[in-house]
Amino acid sequence: MAKEFLTDVKTLRVRARKHIEKGAVTEGYRADRDTVIRILNEALATEIVCVLRYKRHYFMASGINATSVAQEFLQHANEEQGHADQIAARIVQLGGEPNFSPEGLLTRSHAEYVEGEDLVDMIKEDLVAERIAIDSYGEMIRYLGNDDPTSRRMLEGILAMEEEHAEDLATLLATMGEK
Ligand SMILES: [Fe+2]
Ligand SMILES: [Fe+2]
């Protein structure tokens, strides 16, 4: 027997006309919107802290003439900025407000801001931060499941890039040798 598939067209049309001020958020949205906005704001804070840490590392590495490592830090900083922008846009689409306040930023962020004493330290700290991001994005993705596929897919894309970042850093660390 065929499985019951879609809501009938008439009901869909009637539902879509209600609460049009909510834009992309329809009655069919199945996730807990407040919770999703809260965890996306934590992800946003994490990305912002990562941008700041990578920028610091970029300028410090430039100062000690470690050009190729500095370029890697800069590339990561720019990619984390791209993630922050994607997340902020999704929060707005869900009817929330992206939290860019410096106050409490580190508390909202999952990753830490560690300056690092030298190049190897910086790479290690960045790798730790990426590994934290990988685990927390994994949890968010599992939490969202099929309740908010758009946010889930966005986070899956970001997660894939954090995994590349971690791999890049592990390779850098290996080529530089353990301290
Ligand atoms: Fe990121
Ligand atoms: Fe990253």
pLDDT of residue 2: 62
Residue range 128-154: average pLDDT? Answer: 96
pLDDT band for position 8 (cuts 50, 70, 90): confident
Q: For residue 58, how far is its CA from the centre of ligand 1 (angstroms)?
A: 16
Ion ligand 1 — residues with CB < 5 Å: 47, 80, 83
Closest ligand to C-alpha of residue 47 is 1
With 60 as the cut, is the pLDDT of residue 179 above it? no
pLDDT of residue 127: 97
Q: Which of 99, 83, 86 is nearest to 37 (CA)?
A: 99
Q: For residue 31, how far is its CA from the centre of ligand 2 (angstroms)?
A: 26
pLDDT of residue 12: 83
Residue range 20-34: average pLDDT? Answer: 91
With 60 as the cut, is the pLDDT of residue 1 above it? no
Residue range 96-103: average pLDDT? Answer: 98
pLDDT of residue 7: 80
> What percent of the chain is modeled with pLDDT above 70?
96
Closest ligand to C-alpha of residue 169 is 2
Q: For residue 152, how far is its CA from the centre of ligand 1 (angstroms)?
A: 15
Note if the pTM is more than 0.85: yes
Rounded to 10 degrees, the C-alpha dihedral 102/105/106/108 comes to 170
Greatest Cα pair distance, the chain, in angstroms, is 70
The residues near 120 (Cβ < 8 Å, ≥ 6 apart) are 173, 176, 178, 179
Q: For residue 158, how far is its CA from the centre of ligand 1 (angstroms)?
A: 6
